[in-house]
Amino acid sequence: MEQIINIIAKEFGLVLRNVKNTVNLLEEGATVPFISRYRKEMTGSMNEVTIAAIAERVAELKEIAKRREYVISVIESQNALTDELRQRLEQSWDKTEIEDIYLPFKPKRRTRAEVARQLGLEPLAKVIMSQNGRPIDARRWVKGEVKDEEQAINGAKDIIAEWVSEDSRSRTRLRRNFSRTAIISSRVVKGKEWEGQKYRDWFDFSEPLRRCPAHRLLAMRRGEDEGVLKVSITPADDAEEQIARLYVKSNGEASEYVAQAVHDAYKRLLLPSIENEFAAESKRVADAEAISIFTRNLRQLLLTSPLGRKRVLAIDPGFRTGCKVVCLSEQGDLLEHSTIYPHATDQERVVARYEIEEMVERHEIQAIAIGRGTAGRETKDFIDSLRLSGIAVHMVNEDGASVYSASEVAREEFPDKDVTVRGAVSIGRRLIDPLAELVKIDPKSIGVGQYQHDVDQTMLRKGLDQTVESCVNSVGVNLNTASKELLSYVSGIGPQLARRIVD
C-alpha cells in the first residue's frame, strides 16, 4: 500500500501525509462525503472530487498489483522467471506493459505456431529469423508429419509470426501509431439499410478516433450491437511497414520469409489485437465522459429548488386512461385521489373541471404539479383554462415515476393504492422536495442521459450512487421527517440504521 500511496501523491501533486490519511480512511470504510466534511484536518481540506478520484485510483492500482502477482506466479510455475523479468514486472504499474510481458508465457489454445513447434520446426524458425545470408535448406526438417519443405517453411513462418505478435517492441510501435493516426469507421451491414434508418448518419462514416466525441462513438457501437453497422478502427497505411523494419534485416531468402511472417503476424494477430485494445479503451473513455454528463444531469435534477411545504395537487396525465389526480398535504401525505377525463367528451371535460375546482377548494391547494409526459402539455392547457387564482402550475419531470409506483418502497407506503395513484403522488412530491422523493428511485430510471443503457453499467451505478450520496450529504436531512431511503445515504448511517431510525 505504501507504493500505491506514493504513486497517487506524485500523480495528483498532493502532500504524501494527506494522501496516506485519506487512503487509510477509505480502507476503514469511511465514505467520500464523510471524509470531505468531517476529516478536513487529516486530508488537508481535500474536496469530494479529489477524494473520489483517489478512491478510484487506489482501486485501479490494487487491481494492477493483483494481476501482476498472478502473472509472476504463472511465469514462475513455468520455471521461466528470470531476475530481470521479475524486476521488470515488480517495477511496472502499467497494465498494458504487464500484459505484454505476460503474453509469451500465457497458456495458449492450439495455435498454428504451437502445432509447428510440436512438429519440431522451432529450430528452423530460429535459423530463418537469424537472416545470416546463407541459403535456407529445409530438407532436414522434412520428416514425420512434415511432408515437404514448403510445409516446413510455412510452419517456421507461423512460429516467427507468433514471436513478432508477442514482442513488446512491435506492440508498442503499433500502439503509438494507433494513438497518433487511428481512424474509426462505420459501414452499414449489407441488407440492413432499411431497418437501420436511425443510424443512416453512420452508414458510411469515418473520422480520427481521438476526435470522436462520446455520444457519436456510443451511437456507432449501439448500431454495431444491433447488427446494423460494422465498426472498425485502423491505423495509418504505413503501420505494417514500420513493424517490418524491426525484423527484416536484408534482402535475402530468409529475410523474404521473415517479411512474409511479419505480414501474416500483422494482419492475423497484431492488428486485430491492438484494434481490440483501442476499441475497448475508446469505449471506456466514452463511457467515462458520458457518465460524467449523466452524473452532472442527475446532480442538477436532485438539487432543483424545492417548492417547500405547500399543499399540492398533482396530475399524472393521460389521454385514453384519463388523468390520475392526487392531493397532498404540506408533508406529502396523500389526502385524496381521483381520475378525470379532460381530453374526452365535452361532458367529461365539464366534470373534470368541477372535480379539480372542488379538490382545490376542499384541500386549500397552493400549487399544481403536472407530469411532463404524454398529454402533459394538453393537461396544462386544461388547468390554465380554469384560471385558478393564486395557484402556480408546474411541469414536473416524471421519468421514473412508473418505476417507483411498482417498487417495494411504494408498496410499503401505499399498500392499498393502485400503481397509477402512487405515480401521481411521486410527481407531486418531486415538486415539494425533489431530493427526498428522487432518492427512492433507481438513479438509472430518472432519465439522465440518452445513452445510459450503452455504457458500462457498473461504472454508471457507481457514479450515480456517489452523486446521490454527495447531494444528500451536501443538503442534509430532517431526521424527524426523512424517509429511510433518504437517511440511508447519510454518511455513517446506511440502510439498516436508517430503517431502525424510521421504525
CATH code for the domain of 75? 1.10.10.650
pLDDT band at 134 (very low <50, low <70, confident <90, very high): confident
Determine the structural domain holding residue 327 and report its residue range: 312-432
Please tell me the pTM assigned to this model: 0.81
Question: Is 199 within the bounds of a domain?
Answer: yes
Question: Is 212 within the bounds of a domain?
Answer: yes
Indicate which CATH number applies to the domain containing 322: 3.30.420.140
More reliable by pLDDT, 391 or 499: 391
pLDDT at position 132: 84
Q: Tell me what percent of the residues of the chain surpass a pLDDT of 90.
A: 67
Do 293 and 327 belong to one domain?
A: no
pLDDT at position 146: 86
Distances (CA, A) of 34 to 29, 49, 103, 120, 487: 10, 13, 43, 64, 14
Q: How far apart are CA 251 and CA 242, in angstroms?
A: 16
Do 369 and 396 belong to one domain?
A: yes
pLDDT at position 42: 93
Distances (CA, A) of 248 to 66, 127, 267: 38, 14, 17
Do 97 and 187 belong to one domain?
A: no
Do 167 and 274 belong to one domain?
A: yes
Do 292 and 181 belong to one domain?
A: yes
Say yes or no to pLDDT of 171 above 80: yes
Yes or no: say if 488 and 472 are a contact pair by the CB < 8 Å rule.
no
Do 289 and 170 belong to one domain?
A: yes
Tally of structural domains, the chain: 4
Is residue 84 helix, strand or coil? Answer: helix
Give the end of a domain, one of 234, 265, 298: 298
Q: How far apart are CA 490 and CA 33, in angstroms?
A: 9
The per-residue pLDDT for range 18-73, each reduced to its tens digit, is 999 999 999 998 888 889 888 899 999 999 889 999 999 999 999 999 999 999 99
Say yes or no to pLDDT of 394 above 80: yes
Closest C-alpha to 298, from 398, 441, 476, 447 = 447
Do 475 and 400 belong to one domain?
A: no
- Find all residues with CB under 8 Å of 249, minimum gap 6, and list them: 131, 255, 258
Instruction: Read off the C-alpha cell for 428.
Output: 407531486
Neighbours of 501 (CB within 10 A): 14
Indicate which CATH number applies to the domain containing 175: 1.10.3500.10
Do 154 and 290 belong to one domain?
A: yes
The per-residue pLDDT for range 297-332, each reduced to its tens digit, is 989 988 989 998 899 999 999 998 999 999 999 999
Average pLDDT, the chain: 91
Question: Is 442 within the bounds of a domain?
Answer: no
Yes or no: say if 167 and 285 are a contact pair by the CB < 8 Å rule.
no
Question: Is 497 within the bounds of a domain?
Answer: yes
Is residue 499 helix, strand or coil? Answer: helix
pLDDT at position 503: 74
Closest C-alpha to 279, from 235, 215, 232 = 232
The per-residue pLDDT for range 136-157, each reduced to its tens digit, is 888 888 988 989 999 999 999 9
The per-residue pLDDT for range 227-269, each reduced to its tens digit, is 999 999 999 889 999 999 999 988 889 999 999 999 999 999 9
Do 128 and 261 belong to one domain?
A: yes
Do 327 and 219 belong to one domain?
A: no
End-to-end CA distance of the chain: 41
- Burial grade of 491 (CB within 10 A; 0-12, 13-18, 19 or more): middle
Question: Is 190 within the bounds of a domain?
Answer: yes
